[in-house]
Amino acid sequence: MSNNLGIVIGVAKPDQVTFESRRPVSLGEYVILHYGGSKVLGLIERSSITSDALGAAIRNYEEAFESRQVAEANKRDKSYKGHVRILGFLEDLKKGKSIIPSLPPEPGTEIYEATPEELSGVFAPDGSQWLGAGRLLRNPDVAARINIDKVVSRHLAVLAMTGMGKSNLVSLLAKEVAKINGTMVIFDYHDDYSTLDMGRNSNLMDARINPRMLAAEKLAAVIEIQENASNQMHVLRQAFTQDVRQKKGDDFWNALIDRVRAVGAEEKMYRETAAKVEDKIEDARRKFSNILDPGLSDPLAMIKNGKVNVINLVELTERQANIAVSYYLEEMLDDRKRATRNNHEESRVPIKFTVPLMVVIEEAHIFIPKEEDTDTKYFAGKVAREGRKFGLGLVIVSQRPRGIDSNILSQMGSLAVMRMVQQDDQMQVSAASESLSRDLIEQLPSLNPGEAVFTGQWVNLPTFVKVDEVKERKIGGDQKAVEQWTKLSQVKEMTKETSESYIPSGYLQD
Ligand SMILES: Nc1ncnc2c1ncn2[C@@H]1O[C@H](COP(=O)(O)OP(=O)(O)OP(=O)(O)O)[C@@H](O)[C@H]1O
Ligand SMILES: [Mg+2]
């Protein structure tokens, strides 16, 4: 049963009305209006309480003190007003269509609290593509679900300040996708996802790069030759011949070093440079032995369909990570293109991803930056533009939206936005999304960790959500410094006591 909440007053417009309420109302509450023969859903966007007796004209404390007694004695003194944005006919919203009635409601129209049943139809529709993400922020008895099909086909950006729950949301999505045997690839830059409990559907692996397959410039980047070291670049380019590329495993490194030495011997002016390049190669070969693998045949081989694949990037430098991510992206896009086009034909190259998949890139401001052209940016741009046709969805995650390439950001069909206070971040986000109104943007600084606004194609309506917390996550949590310091000093005290018992006094003076 709906509860009567108030009555429309003042100037009513088709898309917004003001009402006088029985009680104070909260921002973000949903209300129902009956007019034009249908139920219409509205959202409270502004709320105020005023008192006749305690008006702004009060000039001093005594007057305020006396007026308060008058106000308390008079039941009609307080006015609770709510400003409602009309969202559309309820029945249409349940189908994902927002149709605003052409006529405004008449002043005097009743306003009701929306019931959980009415809201569930819009925010938690039935259907296997709707996955659970949490509860409505102001109506916690109503589930908030998202349409995962739209994430795969139209992409998603998860944006918020640091520590506000971005990785928690991605973890939740990963767990939900695992439950329905979906395919997902997460590039895990901070080892945020290895502890997730996804039953048999999780597949953890370390990122690998095959140096033999790289262009000379990229090989230079992965073995940490500085970008501006043009002589070293020259030597490496000369040495990185087709012959060398043919060699497998350790033979590859040895052949490459032999060629570098040969270049140094042939061209006198490069002798010292060649020695430096040799050192770089030896260093990289040792330091990155578990990342650079000249024996690697197909980097996609370890990725599995129907699983959440977590590719650990922790040990990679930023440039290496960039090369690895772009390489995986390129291969995945190619594979999905072939899968879609050659559906009924014989494909000579075996198809890896026989079903659609979604790819998560954390730290998107590093991999897909505004100012610079990176390899990942090139392929992420392609996926953002073309992925829709091939069933390859992109999820980009960042605490620095102002640093992400605007073109790619604007291709993201859905957004999850959490607390965000910086104005240039807010502006970038609002430029990327039509459905994030100024009113919603103004709410962003007041959100708490785990509270989010979902907009775009994956929801029927812009939605304030309290995202469920994923309990088994350990790493993303804040470090508790004082607790750890205290523990350390307790351990020190204990070892001091036990040491004192057998170490002659005098040893422990400082
Ligand atoms: N939905 C939630 N409910 C309750 N607490 C949450 C929620 N989401 C996040 N938190 C809390 O906030 C902490 C940080 O969350 P998370 O690691 O997801 O943030 P983040 O936005 O990914 O941060 P960063 O930018 O540093 O990667 C979590 O450890 C948890 O304590
Ligand atoms: Mg995170």
Residues 348 and 407 in one domain: yes
Residues 219 and 279 in one domain: yes
Q: Is 452 in the pocket of ligand 1 (CB under 6 A)?
A: no
Gap from CA of 50 to ligand 1 centroid (Å): 38
Mutate to test the pocket of ligand 1, among 444, 469, 475 (most ligand atoms within 8 A of CB): 469
Residues 273 and 303 in one domain: no
Written as tens digits, the pLDDT of the chain (510 aa) is 568 999 999 999 999 999 999 999 988 889 999 998 899 999 998 899 999 999 999 999 999 999 999 999 999 999 999 999 999 999 999 998 989 999 999 999 999 999 999 999 999 999 999 999 999 998 999 999 999 999 999 999 999 999 999 999 999 999 999 999 999 999 999 999 999 999 999 999 999 888 998 889 889 988 989 888 899 999 999 999 999 999 888 889 999 999 999 999 998 889 999 999 999 999 999 888 888 888 887 778 889 999 999 999 999 989 889 989 998 999 999 999 988 886 555 566 778 888 999 999 999 999 999 988 988 999 999 999 998 899 999 999 999 999 999 999 999 999 999 999 999 999 889 888 877 778 788 889 989 999 999 999 999 988 899 999 999 886 555 677 888 888 888 887 777 765 554 444 444 444
Q: Is 135 in the pocket of ligand 1 (CB under 6 A)?
A: no
Question: Domain boundary residue among 360, 381, 414?
Answer: 414
Residues 11 and 86 in one domain: yes
Which burial class, exposed, middle or buried, applies to 245 when counting CB atoms under 10 A from its CB (0-12, 13-18, 19+)?
Answer: middle
Gap from CA of 472 to ligand 2 centroid (Å): 15
Residues 11 and 99 in one domain: yes
Question: Domain boundary residue among 248, 266, 287?
Answer: 287
Residues 159 and 302 in one domain: yes
pTM: 0.85
Gap from CA of 480 to ligand 1 centroid (Å): 14
Domain tally, the chain: 4
Give the CATH number, domain containing residue 80: 2.40.30
Gap from CA of 168 to ligand 2 centroid (Å): 7
Residues 311 and 187 in one domain: yes
Gap from CA of 475 to ligand 1 centroid (Å): 10
CB 468 within 8 A of CB 101: no
Range of the domain at 231: 211-287
Residues 357 and 240 in one domain: no
Q: Is 168 in the pocket of ligand 1 (CB under 6 A)?
A: yes
Q: Which atom of ligand 1 is nearest to the CA of 467?
A: 1
CB 285 within 8 A of CB 316: no
Q: Is 467 in the pocket of ligand 1 (CB under 6 A)?
A: yes
Residues 223 and 172 in one domain: no
Alpha carbon distance 362, 190 (integer Å)? 9
Which burial class, exposed, middle or buried, applies to 452 when counting CB atoms under 10 A from its CB (0-12, 13-18, 19+)?
Answer: buried
Question: Domain boundary residue among 244, 261, 287?
Answer: 287
CB 222 within 8 A of CB 284: yes
Q: Is 160 in the pocket of ligand 1 (CB under 6 A)?
A: yes
